[in-house]
Every structure is written in C-alpha cells, then in structure tokens.
Amino acid sequence: MKQIKMWRKSSYSGEESNCVEIGAGLDIVGVRDSKDPGGGTLVFGYPAWGSFLAVVKAERFG
C-alpha cells in the first residue's frame, strides 16, 4: 500500500499464527496479515478506526 510506509506488528500477535500488522498513512489506517503482506489490506479512515478501537477497548466486540 503506497500511502503506508511503515508497518508495525501487533504485540498481541503470536509467533506462528494470528499475526496482524497496523500501518498509518496521512488519512488512513491499514491492517494486514504479517505472514502475507501482499495478500490484501483492510483500510479504514481515522474516524472509523477510532470507533473500532473504542468498541474493542470497551470489550463490546462480539
């Protein structure tokens, strides 16, 4: 993804599975599988990403 130059692996990712990377651009946040970085990226705007994080932090997800 051209707009995202640096990716960071989640501290919750395991060594062999559940590997997630987050990358931030000027106006987007990307999420991808660190084992398959070319396999696709979910892209969110900052307002949507902030809403998602608020729900996860409040443990209201699922």
Q: Does 34 reside within a domain?
A: yes
Structure confidence by residue, pLDDT tens digits, 3-43? 898 999 887 777 777 789 999 999 999 999 988 888 999 99
Q: How many domains does the chain have?
A: 1
Whether 2 is covered by a domain: the verdict is no
Q: What's the pLDDT at 61? A: 62
pLDDT of residue 47: 96
Question: Within a domain: residue 1?
Answer: no
Q: Which domain holds residue 41?
A: 7-57
d(CA 15, CA 39): 19
Domain membership flag for residue 28: yes
pLDDT computed for residue 1 by the predictor: 59
Residue 62 belongs to some domain of the structure: no
Find, among 28, 26, 27, the residue nearest to 41 by Cα: 28
The whole-number pLDDT of residue 2 equals 67
